[in-house]
Structure 1
Amino acid sequence: MATAKQNFYKWHRILGLTALIPVMMWTLSGLSHPFMSNWFRPTIARETYKPGQLFLKPTLSIQQVLDKNAITAFINFGLIGFNNKPYYQVLDKDSTRNYYSANTGEVLKDGDKLYATYLARYFTQDSTSKIKSITLQKTFDAHYQPINHLLPVWKIAFDRADGMDVYVETAQSRMGTFNNNIRKAMLTVFEQLHTWDFLEAIGGEQFRLVVLLIIVGIMSLSLGSGLTVYGFFWKKFKTISNNRKATKKTDTRFVHRFHRQLGLIVSFVMLTFIISGAFHLIIKLCNKPIEKQYSQLIERTNLSHSNLQLPVDSLKSIGLVNYADSTYYQVSNFNKDVSYFNTVSGRQLANGDKLYAAYLSSFYYTTNSPEQVYGKTEVSQIRQFDNEYGFINKRLPVQKIAYPNGENWYIETTTSQLATKVAGIDRAEGLSFIFLHKYFGMSWAGKNIRDVVSMLAALGVFVVSVFGFIAFIKNK
């Protein structure tokens, strides 16, 4: 029995030393997260674009503009207004976005750059600072991470003391994110210390996830062995403490005692971090990304009914979709309603947005064939973020397609994009992560209190680790 106890003690120290650096990296970066996401988060004048209806009154129809510029086929179009003028935003077959005056049909040189700059100045309400650079970004990086979802975007870097960068998606006239110098530095630190993206650069995403999962496993063994050691030796520890107090000897092993006592207190906190972190990594490792991309090609010959004759009073955006062997104008108003009008007859498609969402969902759905799931789903529009479809998904409004097996697929019909999918296991993982890892259970007390509690939890684990290392040094 004595040998077993000593072996547990030995393995606890080995496991603890192995996990020491990762634990310190994760707890320190966890301590920095509230500063990055809350207290030191930069502010911007406007986070959403609200176009006025005044400039969305073109003189020419999209058909007239297409004919004038000899465009016979294209991917989609939109109608935007800036510099007090309306423009047709046409996505060409080669995925370039060109701008044509809706009054004259003339092409606007570098229109996408100009519109991206206009939007960036709108969001920042900065009309005077110089633009240091503007680049089209088609991939995520350290400062524009996958959590922002939207691609491609224009990165507009302002020549300002705070180093403000604004990421803009011109297709939907919305902002991906914005960063100043402080946030950019914090993002870099968090990316390297917490998510360990440097491992992806070494061996790829799967390699990163496997390494992190192994380390989390070592942490769980360290925690388990520590609790076992305490259980084996607690009577001995108590006897030593009582004898020291009786003889009034100096406590030379106070570091060891604090490590044990504080470790016992924060063991539950560490367990919640381990469980939620491991669950998160396993799901990411098992889930295969859906790589299917929806595409369409609109033929000019299919556009008979003029877009200027649509029976709409409040037009926020307009586009085109191919559905059920027909082409439809897809019109969004300021109440977030999306309507569909046949481009030949002009007739409105009843429940068009739900029908199109179900069609797109069957396209992205990979578990069963569309015939096996068609007619067995419930479709409803989501206009606000919630616990399942959170703010990190960026896209609103979306249609939620609920399948009989409990899977929910969220489709942004205005871009024909899959926003996210949530299966039963995904839902469980998401809840465990936000409640056990990010402490959303404290949201009732306010974001500041929740952040303080999460920081105290991370700090407790950090201090226990440091005391454990000092105790190991003192034993040498």
Structure 2
Amino acid sequence: MKKQLKAGAIRWHGKWAWLAFAALIIWAASGLLHPLLSWTGPKLAKFFPPSAKASAQQINQIPVILAKQQIEQALLVKLMPTQQGMTLQITESADQPRRYFDLSSGEEMPNYDRQQAKWLASYYTGRPEQEVLSTELITAFNDDYPWVNRLLPVYQVKFVGDDGLRVFVYTETNAQAGISNHYKARVQSWFRALHTWNWLQQLEYARVVIIALMMLALLAMTVTGISMLVMLKRSKKAPWQNTAHHWLAYIVCLPLLFFSFSGLYHLLQYATGDNVRGMRMAKPLTWDNQGLLASPVAEHASQQLALNGVSLLRDDQGQLMYRLNLAKSRDNSAKKGGHHHHHGKHQEQATAPSRQAIYDGIVVSDPAVYISAENGKQMPFNDKALAIALAQQHLGLSADKLSEAKLITRFGMHYDFRNKRLPVWQLSYDTPEGDWVFVDPATGILVDRLNNQARFEGYSFSFLHKWNFLRPIMERTSRDIVMSVTLAVAMMFALFGVVIKLKRRKRRRRV
């Protein structure tokens, strides 16, 4: 039996050699482009959205403006920081520009969404608005703004200059959705062509079958190679190329097993699995301006509360309410019972958050206050209750099936940076599909949804393909360096294998 296994491993290791070699070189070389872009691509000057505060008097203008402008339906109604200070932003359609209204005069700011995009682009890049070359509303994903960015519609704001800098901004939440330039676009096109074979996207079945065969070949080579390491003794008289190939195999055998298995799993999951992921806007809000909506902070107007934001939402009974996002406790000392959630060493990030803060955990402000839009009274409601209500509205998920609800303050394996929103609530349900739902309470948007299929594939891709198991012991840059060195060693290992195969073929021809 051992002889048969040994002979089989040697035979199949040789049969899969050329296809596996091609797969390894293609995907290892293109895989190196990912950390390369992370290190050398365009950088942002700021990583978190701009902030501003509004007084109670300004906030009380919300129902006045809605009545004055005869607006009785919208997807989202909220206050938004702009270049002019806090303004009222109204989203009437998910794929159309947002409308803005001055809180002092109550007048609309015509076509201001485009100006908001220019201001945000300048804010995130550090370049002056005078250098903006063009501003374009993007309503569909493309090569420069692929689907992994998730947010639509966005504005593409281009700047003058030889580098071709452009930034994508999502004015709904003032989020930066992507940044690119000529260099990054060129490298990304190489990555997509070599790593995902997007040039075959018009023949999707052919793309999946060919890539799957190459991944299977690499997986078979890795498994048979590990078998040979276990069963064969290394000859002391072997050529140096054989010796190098043998010792390098000990270094790369497990990484190659991880990469090939997780890559194949990722391919097949996205090709055959049900895609339940993606953002969902809240259902439209409706009201009757004949019965004017109550003022959001009528009871507290004299206290001059400092508020970071206000949005109009719907509770679990379908009643309209205002969500007041309070500033930090020291700004609202008049509010009794308020407290500030700290996250240890990250407290200082509230003033100048860095990119690392989105992975380490952000500071969370005081708990939001909910005010009835019917009578202006404070409601016994909170963000957790809102998230549960929204999950039921969006997906029909019953609160009886809820197993866990927790606040997410950092990006990680299940809720990654592509969602562009923090904090959010994660709701886990005891359903056959194993639903996990992520809800943004500030806007009432269902940001993402995971089921068992997507989550298990996520574990595989995060741990085996992106090596996030290293995160507890090293930061992102160190992890990327370790992965890059491993990929370089794997390509060297493959080249030694080819040299050995060619030498054997040459000897056979002589015989």
Q: What are the within-5 Å matches in structure 2 for residues 149-228 of structure 1?
A: 149-199=150-200, 201-204=201-204, 208-209=207-208, 211-228=210-227
For 1:409, give the aligned amino acid: V
CA distance in structure 1 between the partners assigned to 2:414 and 2:241 by the alignment: 44
Tell me whether 1:296 sits opposite 2:325 in the alignment.
no
Q: Which residue of 1 aligns with 2:255?
A: 269
Q: Is the 8 A contact 1:379 1:402 kept in 2?
A: yes
Deviation string 1:131-184 (CA, Å, 9 cap, x unpaired) is: 222111223333323332322211111112332211111111121122233322
| Per-residue Cα deviation, 1:368-402 (whole angstroms, up to 9, x for no partner) | x645x536443232223344434343221111212
Name the structure 2 match of 1:360: 390
Q: Is 1:91 matched with 2:117?
A: no
Aligned to 1:382: 408
TM-score, length basis structure 1? 0.84
1:6-405 to structure 2, matched below 5 A, reads 9-37=10-38, 39-53=39-53, 58=58, 61-92=61-92, 95-127=96-128, 129-199=130-200, 201-204=201-204, 208-209=207-208, 211-228=210-227, 234=232, 238=235, 241-242=236-237, 251=239, 254-284=240-270, 285-290=272-277, 294-301=282-289, 303-307=292-296, 309=298, 311=300, 313-323=305-315, 324-334=317-327, 335=365, 337-365=367-395, 370-371=397-398, 373-374=399-400, 376-404=402-430
Q: Residue in 1 aligned with 2:476?
A: 447
In structure 2, C-alpha distance between the alignment counterparts of 1:473 and 1:42, rounded to whole Å: 43
Task: Using the TM superposition, give the Cα deviation of residue 111 of structure 1 relative to its aligned residue in structure 2, in angstroms.
Answer: 0.8
Q: Is the 8 A contact 1:59 1:103 kept in 2?
A: no
CA-CA distance at 1:454 after TM superposition: 0.8
How far apart, in 2, do the equivalents of 1:270 and 1:63 lie? 60
The 10-residue stretch of structure 1 (261-270 or 155-164) with the greater mean CA deviation from structure 2: 261-270
Which secondary structure state, in structure 1, belongs to the residue aligned with residue 120 of structure 2? helix
Contact 2:276–2:449 (Cα < 8 Å) also in 1: no
Shift of 1:472: 3.4
Match among 418, 436, 440 for residue 412 of structure 1: 440
Partner of 2:173, secondary structure, is coil
Structure 2: how far apart are the matches of 1:418 and 1:93? 16
Consecutive unaligned residues in structure 2, runs of 5 or more: 328-364, 507-511
Q: Is the 8 A contact 1:76 1:298 kept in 2?
A: no
Q: Tell me: CA distance 1:112–1:263, structure 2 relative to 1, closer, same or farther (3 Å).
A: same
Normalized against structure 2, the TM-score is what?
0.79
Confirm or deny: 8 A CA contact 1:362 1:374 kept in the other structure: no
Change (3 A) 1:442 1:144: same
What is the deviation of 1:46?
Answer: 1.2
Q: 1: distance between equivalents of 2:141 and 2:93?
A: 24
Structure 1 residues 82 and 55: CA distance shift in structure 2, 3 A: farther
Q: Contact 1:93/1:297 (CA < 8 Å) preserved in 2?
A: no
Cα pair distance change 1:393/1:104, threshold 3 Å: closer
Q: Distance in 1 between matches of 2:263 and 2:380?
A: 45
Instruction: Describe the SS at the equivalent of 1:108.
Output: coil
SS class of match (2:177):
strand
Does 383-392 or 190-199 show the bigger shift?
383-392
Q: Secondary structure at the match of 2:196?
A: coil
Partner secondary structure for residue 213 of structure 1: helix
SS of 1:445 mapped into structure 2: coil
- Letter matched to residue 328 of structure 1: M
SS at match of 1:395: coil
Amino acid of the structure 2 residue aligned with 1:297: L
Asked if structure 2 preserves the Cα contact closer than 8 Å seen for 1:338 and 1:353, the reply is: yes
CA RMSD of aligned residues (A): 3.2
Which ranges in structure 1 are unaligned for 5 or more consecutive residues? 245-250
* Structure 1 residues 60 and 286: alpha-carbon distance in aligned structure 2, compared to 1, 3 A threshold: closer
Q: Which amino acid aligns with 2:262?
A: S
> Which residue number corresponds to residue 434 of structure 1?
462
Give SS of 1:410's match: strand
State the AA in 2 paired with 1:378.
Answer: E
Displacement after TM superposition at 1:13 (Å)? 2.8
Deviation, structure 1 residue 211: 4.3
Q: How many angstroms apart in 2 are the aligned matches of 1:351 and 1:89?
A: 24
Residues 400-453 of structure 1: CA deviation (Å, up to 9, x unaligned): 212246653221122333333345565554344333322333332333332222
SS where residue 120 of structure 1 aligns? helix
Amino acid across the alignment from 1:50: P
Q: Paired residue for 2:500?
A: 471
Secondary structure of 2:77 counterpart: strand
- Alpha-carbon distance in 1 for matches of 2:405, 2:418: 22
For residues 56-94 of structure 1, the C-alpha deviation after alignment (integer angstroms, 9 at most, x for no partner) is: 963872333233333333332222343435432222258
The code of the aligned residue for 2:310 comes to: I
AA aligned opposite 2:140:
T
Q: Is the 8 A contact 1:60 1:104 kept in 2?
A: no
Q: Is the 8 A contact 2:16 2:217 kept in 1?
A: yes
1:78–1:197 CA distance, 2 compared to 1 (3 A): same
What amino acid is aligned across from residue 87 of structure 1 in structure 2? T
Aligned amino acid, residue 286 of structure 1 = G
